[in-house]
């Protein structure tokens, strides 16, 4: 694909985002940045959250992974449905009742100072590392498709990427993101649909029934697995999906910050319901696209890449023509920036509220603090990405990404204990419990096959992690204090 075509697409794309930013940030203050003045239409929030949930890594990984795991990932997606139902009926009413900006403020009201700071710190660590890895993987694709052919070094390309995100989010914050993520979700979904249509035409398929029959006959469409020792075992995947949704959406400032911009809890719940419906459909489309891509490669005699993450980009940019190439570039860009801009704003919000206590300061001081914290996290993203690039080791980066997953377990334990048990705990010891829990989880995970008759943990590490945290909090129960009312 011609790099100059890619450059023109990228310039037009960001010109559009910056134009939206100028419009949405008129008269913006720090309340606008953090909460969008709680005036966001629920349907924009719901649609925009799709792009935030589906990062650039998802965009290229899910279709490629079909070769190895078929449609088994859809078992996780089914679990998401129950997880989002719990978020909408348990967590979101709590957040709205307490009128929270940072959801981790709940931990201070429930447990105390140290629990509050620990919960927020685990979010900051998880989201910084996780989002930087996602942005790094997507940036590599953009580097190959666009910047490298133009002679732009990776370090400069990443700096430009992060600078552009900062430019269109620095003033309007979450208010701007509600609109830009809606546009980016539209491009992402359009990219998937157009790619399916264009690949189907290449395969001489006519209509949805032909496409579906081809997917079913491909050998890649198996969804359900019932062998308990298989990493794709249904109940393992299902409950992992439930808890991943609860923790990585309901207990994550990034996704919840958007929900908290709705006018009231009723609108926020409508947002969560429709978000769930669309997300399930989009994930199934990604899996179907993966099956069609492998059928196409087989029919055309195109060798499959060694790494499945490289399969979709390779076909889109080198074999499927200009239309698919443009569509792919728009999709990967939309998925990358919808996830990254949201993460940058959420990190800024959490740090300002939870550690700088910005809500207690006058607006002039608040604006200054927010400005520099936003810059600080942008620079941190850049440094972390360059470290990943210097490593140049896929296994190490995967391990770091895995590590970020471990840090959500303590959040699961903290919120679950706080919601379902009325016991007070010895707050000063909570940070120690939240450090020990991921370490013990890692030890159990490493020895699971030896200790549990061949059973191998997967996504359910998160559940074990949360359970250990929960037990640790129970052991910290302060017997001298009265139960909470």
Q: Which residue has the higher pLDDT, 172 or 200?
A: 200
Start-to-end Cα distance in the chain? 64
The CA distances from residue 252 to 66, 102, 301, 407, 458, in Å, are: 28, 10, 44, 12, 21
Element (H, E) at 33: helix 30-35
The pLDDT of residue 399: 59
The pLDDT of residue 325: 82
Q: Give bridge partners of residue 40 from the DSSP assignment.
A: 262
Q: Which residue has the higher pLDDT, 405 or 450?
A: 450
- Measured CA to CA, the distance from residue 144 to residue 381 in angstroms comes to 20
Q: Provide long-range contacts, Cβ within 8 A and 24+ apart, for 18-22.
A: 18/164, 18/167, 18/168, 20/168, 20/176, 20/179, 20/180, 20/183, 21/167, 21/168, 21/169, 21/171, 21/172, 21/176, 21/180
Percent of the chain with pLDDT over 70: 95
Count of other CB atoms within 10 angstroms of residue 331: 26
pLDDT digits (tens, 9 = 90+) for 140-187: 777 877 788 888 898 998 898 888 888 888 878 888 888 888 888 888
Nearest to 411 by CA among 91, 51, 173, 80: 91
The pLDDT of residue 314: 87
Q: Which CATH class is domain 3-399?
A: mainly alpha
Domain boundaries, the chain: 3-399, 408-485
How many helices (H) and strands (E) the chain has is answered by 22, 0
- The mean pLDDT of 412-417, rounded to a whole number, is 95
Nearest to 307 by CA among 37, 67, 106, 121: 67
Among all chains, which residue has been given the structure tokens 């002039």?
364
- Measured CA to CA, the distance from residue 345 to residue 323 in angstroms comes to 33
- The mean pLDDT of 284-312, rounded to a whole number, is 90
Nearest to 49 by CA among 259, 229, 201, 199: 259
Q: Residues 48, 51, 52, CA angle at the centre, nearest 5°?
A: 90
Q: Is the dihedral of CA 26, 259, 381, 357 positive or negative?
A: positive
pLDDT digits (tens, 9 = 90+) for 367-382: 999 999 999 999 999 9
- Measured CA to CA, the distance from residue 128 to residue 400 in angstroms comes to 11
- Measured CA to CA, the distance from residue 79 to residue 235 in angstroms comes to 9
pLDDT digits (tens, 9 = 90+) for 217-247: 988 999 999 988 787 889 988 998 999 899 9
The CA distances from residue 356 to 2, 167, 289, in Å, are: 47, 23, 45
CA 9 to chain centre: 25
DSSP string for 372-420: HHHHHHHHHHHHHHHHHHHH--HHHHHHHHHHHHHTTHHHHHHHHHHHH
- Measured CA to CA, the distance from residue 335 to residue 170 in angstroms comes to 20
pLDDT digits (tens, 9 = 90+) for 9-38: 888 888 888 888 888 888 778 888 888 888
Q: Which residue has the higher pLDDT, 410 or 14?
A: 410
């Amino acid at each position: 694909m011609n790099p100059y075509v890619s450059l023109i697409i990228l310039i037009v794309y960001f010109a559009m985002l910056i134009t939206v930013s100028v419009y949405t940030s008129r008269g913006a203050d720090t309340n606008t940045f953090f909460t969008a003045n709680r005036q966001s239409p629920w349907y924009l929030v719901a649609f925009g959250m799709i792009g935030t949930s589906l990062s650039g890594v998802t965009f290229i990984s899910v279709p490629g992974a079909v070769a190895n795991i078929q449609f088994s990932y859809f078992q996780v997606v089914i679990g998401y449905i129950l997880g989002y139902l719990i978020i909408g009926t348990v967590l979101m009413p709590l957040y709205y009742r307490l009128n929270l900006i940072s959801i981790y403020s709940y931990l201070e009201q429930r447990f105390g100072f140290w629990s509050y700071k620990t919960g927020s710190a685990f979010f900051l660590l998880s989201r910084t590392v996780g989002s930087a890895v996602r942005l790094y993987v997507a940036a590599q694709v953009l580097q190959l498709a666009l910047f490298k052919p133009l002679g732009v070094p990776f370090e400069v390309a990443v700096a430009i990427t992060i600078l552009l995100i900062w430019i269109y989010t620095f003033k309007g914050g979450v208010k701007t993101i509600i609109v830009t993520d809606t546009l980016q979700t539209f491009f992402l979904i359009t990219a998937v649909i157009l790619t399916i249509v264009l690949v189907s035409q290449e395969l001489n398929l006519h209509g949805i029934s032909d496409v579906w029959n081809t997917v079913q006959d491909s050998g890649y469409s198996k969804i359900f697995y019932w062998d308990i020792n298989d990493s794709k075992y249904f109940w393992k995947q299902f409950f992992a999906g439930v808890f991943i949704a609860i923790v990585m959406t309901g207990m994550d400032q990034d996704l919840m910050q958007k929900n908290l911009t709705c006018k009231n809890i009723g609108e926020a719940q409508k947002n969560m319901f429709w978000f769930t419906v669309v997300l399930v459909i989009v994930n199934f489309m990604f899996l179907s696209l993966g099956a069609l891509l492998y059928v196409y490669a087989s029919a055309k005699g195109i060798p499959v890449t060694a790494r499945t993450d490289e399969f979709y980009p390779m076909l889109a940019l080198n074999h499927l023509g200009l239309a698919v190439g443009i569509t792919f570039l728009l999709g990967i860009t939309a998925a990358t920036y919808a996830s990254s801009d949201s993460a940058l704003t959420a990190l800024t919000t959490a740090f300002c509220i939870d550690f700088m206590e910005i809500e207690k300061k006058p607006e002039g001081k608040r604006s200054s603090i927010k400005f520099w914290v936003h810059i600080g996290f942008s620079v941190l993203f850049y440094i972390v990405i360059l470290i990943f690039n210097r490593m140049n080791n896929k296994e190490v980066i995967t391990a770091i990404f895995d590590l970020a997953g471990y840090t959500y377990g303590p959040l699961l334990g903290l919120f679950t204990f706080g919601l379902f048990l009325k016991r007070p705990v010895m707050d000063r010891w909570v940070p120690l419990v939240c450090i020990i829990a991921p370490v013990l989880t890692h030890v159990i995970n490493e020895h699971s096959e030896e200790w549990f008759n061949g059973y191998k943990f997967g996504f359910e590490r998160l559940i074990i992690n949360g359970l250990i945290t929960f037990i640790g909090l129970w052991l910290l129960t302060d017997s001298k204090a009265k139960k909470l009312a």
